Chain A
Amino acid sequence: MNGSSAAAVVTRGLVKQHGQGHGGVRAVDEIDLEVPQGQTLAVMGPSGCGKSTLLHLLGGLERPDGGEVWLAGRRIDTLSERALARMRRRSVGFVFQGFHLMEELTAAENVELPALLAGRSRRQARRRAGRLLDQVGLTARARHLPSQLSGGQRQRVAVARALVNDPLVVLADEPTGNLDTAATHDVLRIFGELRSAGQTFVIVTHDERVAATADRLISMRDGMFVDDLRMAAARPRGLGGLIGLGD
């Protein structure tokens, strides 16, 4: 854990309880986490292990029952709803399993929306949206409604939308959960490009392929971290080994 000053996301003793008293379950149980700038962290675990709740806590969508959440050196769990909203506009981009695009808005309008919410001018918003849609390879579909797009395309729109305000961190909740292999690869490819550009990611997933691309993989069970695996940059060791060739 070096350079905590450069950490994008930090939590200390984070607790979130669902339900009260003895019937209550600790969805997140005393979690300490530090995600440096530029790191891609994947959190894996069975359904109900608390990984989505953790993500919501990091993005200020839920408030912790204990502990602290810091984003870019600023404590956010004590902020007012209004300040949290402002923080989300500036620092967080969400990508969800269900895409959560606005059905009545075109791809471009969906991408522009956070920029408009953040008070950018219409022209700026449009320019940024255009650039991002180009980056995710959907320039030709900018004027399509979500219903006219495939699942993979919708998720790419959602990724572009998450990026439109240059967030400090992208929080992704099962980003490939509803996608087929080809679309999963599209999304992972875009994530890869963004990582090369220094984007920080926290990805909650139960897709091992997504997890395998992360710099660091945390396994979560019953609200706690049970394994923390740092993966070195892949050294091609002869892929033939995977199919029993060459050795």
Chain B
Amino acid sequence: MGSLVLVPRLVLADVRRHRLQAAMLLLAVTVATATMALGLSLNGVSDALYEQTRAATAGPDVVVLSGEPGPAATSALSSLARAPEVTAHHGPYRIVYADLAVHGRTSNVVVHGFAEKPGAVNRPLTTSGHWVRPGGTVLERGFATALGVGVGDRVTIAGRSYPVVGIAVTAATSVYPGAAQIGPGGAGSDYSGLAWMTRPDAKALASAHDLPVTVALDLALRDPARADAFREAHRDPDLRLTFRSWRFTAAQDLNLLKDSQPILIVGSWLIGFLAITGVAALAAGRAAEQTRRAGLLKAVGAGPGLIATVLLTEYLALALAGDALGLLIAQLSVPAIASPTDSRIGDAAGPGTAAVVTATLLAVAVAVLSTLRPTLRARRTATVTALTATAHRPRHRPRLTALSALLPTPLLLGLRLTARRPGRAVLQACSTATTVIAIVALLTLHAQTERGYGLGGSSVLPNLRGEHDRRLMLAVAVLLITLAVVNTVTFTWTTAMEAEANMAVARTLGATPGQITAGLSAAQLLPTLPGAVLGVPLGDGLLSLFAARNAVQAPSSWLLAAVLATLVATAALTALPARLAARRPVARALSAEAA
């Protein structure tokens, strides 16, 4: 039992001594798990919001629509309302296809003609103002938000001005801009907002302008789960009726998030990968020290199990802390990300069990993958060897060394530094490739053209989904780039510290601080170049897995600029730590080595 007391003490002491590293691990894992948990929570959150809206607005189990209004349709709908499975109904009511203009923006709108006193089914919830009254209209909340309209504003519907008397939400239609379940005459629908008017107003609107109309009926079933069976049972061969089950509408909500999920999930994998490379580089930099620590523990009688526990616990504890933090962030940011419109109400529940488990697995994987090798090595190394361990000895690379002899001094030093730690060079290349993948995705997303939500696809009302995707992609790219920056700085500093004695010797041999700085920068830039060049096709390939058929590629000039910018940024990022390292007094570095 005594040894179990020892573990936290050793772990805490080590974390205290390596705060920066601990902070980096924490940051990396937090970002990775938050992104992953968000990605995995989207479905559940969207469903939950729909569910809450449905409960608050007595959402119908089935909406039946007929694009060909007339006595036949009306009687068919009325008979459906009397069907034995039906417990309550609302309608039939008129849906008028019109256009709406406000503040110089125009949009399609479907106007539902409702009673001033809502019925038993589909009772839209007024979130501000009040319900329809003669001459006034109520706007669906997601639509109103997109238009920037509030209660008291006036909107022009089919050329006539109406005051907005209220804002409401409903579960009977999909979120904005999917309010038109079917188009005029049962055709396909265009992006539309939703407005409500009194029945007479809606009727007047339709007849005054001879606007197309659809008739709809909202039904509540005895068994909501049998909504699909209801459709099968009541299919009318003579009349084209459209049945919309609540499940279908809920699934439509997710359409808006179609691209968000891959952005977040793939993004979280990339972030997790960067986290692993960064933390692995740090852990490798400390491998010698860890080996010595393991040796000390063995010397005082600790078994291999305890040693592995101590070494792994530190990373695991930090990773789990990062996991918890990431899940918290996911929980807090989920409403904003999972509900890009205001068409639904309710609180987004946090990440579900599956998301929590997966994110935690990711965190554990980061910790284990990045420390497994040093930990195993530390365990295996014989005690005496471990106690005298110095940093793992770099291997001789005759070809690179010979090649570098032909180069100017900074490249000579840089190439030899790269040759010292080929593993780190690979990590740096991977890190760069990941960054470039993110940038390519960002650029490609920005290169897409899409239909706006305004009238006739005008972008006076921006495409919410596109906006949302770009915002998300930007956030993921920013996170990825941040981690890549941290990685690059860490790599440079670790390289500089490991090569400190060597660089000090080079100084005594007559290398200038400028040459040392340039050499350290070159050591990072050399692997960055292939990484950046590789990142472009990798990014394209990754995107093509998710892209729509009509997706266009970003212009190659953009991609070239991105690669160049990455190189320049890396050079700039490495310059500072390299310069700091190169300016350290030579005499001190040399005497530290001798001591």
Q: Is the interface of B mostly helix, strand, loop or mixed?
A: helix
Interface centre among B397, B509, B590 (most CB of A within 10 A): B509
Confirm or deny: A114 has a beta carbon within 8 angstroms of a beta carbon on chain B.
Answer: yes
Residue of A nearest to B582 (CB): A81
25 A–B contacts, CB within 8 A, in A order: A52-B591, A61-B585, A62-B585, A81-B513, A82-B513, A88-B509, A88-B510, A89-B509, A90-B510, A92-B508, A94-B508, A94-B509, A98-B593, A100-B505, A100-B508, A101-B505, A102-B416, A104-B394, A104-B396, A104-B397, A105-B401, A105-B416, A109-B405, A114-B510, A122-B406
- A165–chain B nearest beta-carbon distance, Å: 8
- A94–chain B nearest beta-carbon distance, Å: 4
B498-524 Cβ-contact flags toward A at 8 Å (1 or 0): 000110111111111111000000000
B550-562 Cβ-contact flags toward A at 8 Å (1 or 0): 0000000000000
Q: Are A100 and B395 in contact (CB under 8 A)?
A: no
Residues of B within 8 Å of A96, CB to CB, are 590, 594
Confirm or deny: B419 has a beta carbon within 8 angstroms of a beta carbon on chain A.
Answer: yes
Residues of A within 8 Å of B565, CB to CB, are none
B393-431 Cβ-contact flags toward A at 8 Å (1 or 0): 111111001000110010010001001100000000000
Residues of B within 8 Å of A147, CB to CB, are 393
Q: Are A85 and B401 in contact (CB under 8 A)?
A: no
Residues of B within 8 Å of A112, CB to CB, are 405
* Additional pairs, 20, CB under 8 Å, beyond known A61-B587, A82-B512: A56-B587, A86-B512, A94-B509, A96-B590, A96-B594, A101-B505, A102-B505, A103-B394, A103-B502, A104-B393, A104-B394, A104-B401, A104-B416, A105-B396, A109-B405, A112-B405, A113-B506, A113-B509, A117-B506, A118-B510
Confirm or deny: A106 has a beta carbon within 8 angstroms of a beta carbon on chain B.
Answer: yes
- A143–chain B nearest beta-carbon distance, Å: 9
Q: Are B510 and A104 in contact (CB under 8 A)?
A: no
Q: Which of A35-89 contact B (CB under 8 A)?
A: 52-53, 56, 59, 61-62, 81-82, 85-89
Residues of B within 8 Å of A160, CB to CB, are none
Residues of B within 8 Å of A53, CB to CB, are 587
Q: Are B591 and A161 in contact (CB under 8 A)?
A: no
Cα(A56)–Cα(B594), bound, Å: 15
- B362–chain A nearest beta-carbon distance, Å: 36
Residues of B within 8 Å of A125, CB to CB, are 405
- B497–chain A nearest beta-carbon distance, Å: 15
Residues of B within 8 Å of A90, CB to CB, are 510
Q: Which 10 A-B pairs have the closest CB atoms?
A: A89-B510, A85-B512, A104-B394, A98-B594, A88-B510, A114-B509, A94-B508, A82-B512, A100-B505, A56-B587
Binding site for B on A (CB under 8 A): 52-53, 56, 59, 61-62, 81-82, 85-90, 92, 94, 96-98, 100-106, 109, 112-114, 116-118, 122, 125, 145, 147, 161, 165
Interface centre among A92, A109, A112 (most CB of B within 10 A): A109
Q: Are A62 and B506 in contact (CB under 8 A)?
A: no
Q: Are B510 and A86 in contact (CB under 8 A)?
A: yes
Assuming the contacts A104-B419, A105-B401, asked whether A82 and B514 have C-beta atoms less than 8 A apart, the reply is: yes
Residues of A within 8 Å of B394, CB to CB, are 103-104
B455-498 Cβ-contact flags toward A at 8 Å (1 or 0): 00000000000000000000000000000000000000000000
Interface centre among A86, A112, A113 (most CB of B within 10 A): A113
Cα(A56)–Cα(B514), bound, Å: 20
Residue of B nearest to A148 (CB): B396
Assuming the contacts A52-B591, A100-B593, asked whether A122 and B420 have C-beta atoms less than 8 A apart, the reply is: no
Residue of A nearest to B505 (CB): A100
Residue of B nearest to A100 (CB): B505
- A103–chain B nearest beta-carbon distance, Å: 6
Residues of B within 8 Å of A87, CB to CB, are 510
Q: Are A116 and B412 in contact (CB under 8 A)?
A: yes
Q: Are B510 and A85 in contact (CB under 8 A)?
A: yes
Cα(A10)–Cα(B508), bound, Å: 20
Residue of B nearest to A145 (CB): B396
Residue of B nearest to A112 (CB): B405
- A170–chain B nearest beta-carbon distance, Å: 12
Q: Are A62 and B512 in contact (CB under 8 A)?
A: no
Residues of A within 8 Å of B398, CB to CB, are 106
Residue of A nearest to B405 (CB): A122
Residues of B within 8 Å of A103, CB to CB, are 393-394, 502
- A154–chain B nearest beta-carbon distance, Å: 13
- A193–chain B nearest beta-carbon distance, Å: 22
Residues of A within 8 Å of B510, CB to CB, are 85-90, 92, 114, 117-118, 165
Residue of A nearest to B594 (CB): A98
- B393–chain A nearest beta-carbon distance, Å: 6
Confirm or deny: B586 has a beta carbon within 8 angstroms of a beta carbon on chain A.
Answer: yes
Q: Are B512 and A81 in contact (CB under 8 A)?
A: yes
- A219–chain B nearest beta-carbon distance, Å: 22
Assuming the contacts A61-B586, A89-B509, A125-B405, asked whether A100 and B419 have C-beta atoms less than 8 A apart, the reply is: no
Q: Are A100 and B396 in contact (CB under 8 A)?
A: no
Interface centre among A102, A105, A114 (most CB of B within 10 A): A102
Q: Are B405 and A116 in contact (CB under 8 A)?
A: yes
Q: Are B587 and A104 in contact (CB under 8 A)?
A: no
- B516–chain A nearest beta-carbon distance, Å: 9
Q: Are A88 and B508 in contact (CB under 8 A)?
A: yes
- A126–chain B nearest beta-carbon distance, Å: 8
Q: Are A161 and B509 in contact (CB under 8 A)?
A: yes
Residues of A within 8 Å of B590, CB to CB, are 61, 96, 98, 100
Interface centre among A61, A114, A147, A165 (most CB of B within 10 A): A61
Cα(A232)–Cα(B525), bound, Å: 57
Residues of A within 8 Å of B587, CB to CB, are 52-53, 56, 61-62
Q: Are B393 and A97 in contact (CB under 8 A)?
A: no
Cα(A52)–Cα(B509), bound, Å: 17
Cα(A71)–Cα(B587), bound, Å: 19
Q: Are A100 and B405 in contact (CB under 8 A)?
A: no
Residue of A nearest to B409 (CB): A117
- B119–chain A nearest beta-carbon distance, Å: 83
Residues of B within 8 Å of A88, CB to CB, are 507-510
- B487–chain A nearest beta-carbon distance, Å: 24
Residue of A nearest to B393 (CB): A103
- A90–chain B nearest beta-carbon distance, Å: 7
Cα(A165)–Cα(B509), bound, Å: 10
Residue of A nearest to B406 (CB): A122
Q: Are A109 and B514 in contact (CB under 8 A)?
A: no
Among B409, B502, B512, B594, the residue within 8 A (CB) of A102 is B502
Cα(A161)–Cα(B397), bound, Å: 20
- B506–chain A nearest beta-carbon distance, Å: 7
Cα(A42)–Cα(B16), bound, Å: 46
Residues of A within 8 Å of B397, CB to CB, are 104
Cα(A53)–Cα(B587), bound, Å: 8
Residue of B nearest to A122 (CB): B405
B564-595 Cβ-contact flags toward A at 8 Å (1 or 0): 00000000000000000000011100110110
- B281–chain A nearest beta-carbon distance, Å: 19
Residue of B nearest to A56 (CB): B587
Among A109, A161, A165, the residue within 8 A (CB) of B401 is A109
Residues of A within 8 Å of B396, CB to CB, are 104-106, 145
Residues of A within 8 Å of B505, CB to CB, are 100-102
Residues of B within 8 Å of A106, CB to CB, are 396, 398
Cα(A96)–Cα(B507), bound, Å: 14
- B524–chain A nearest beta-carbon distance, Å: 18
- A47–chain B nearest beta-carbon distance, Å: 11
Cα(A104)–Cα(B506), bound, Å: 14
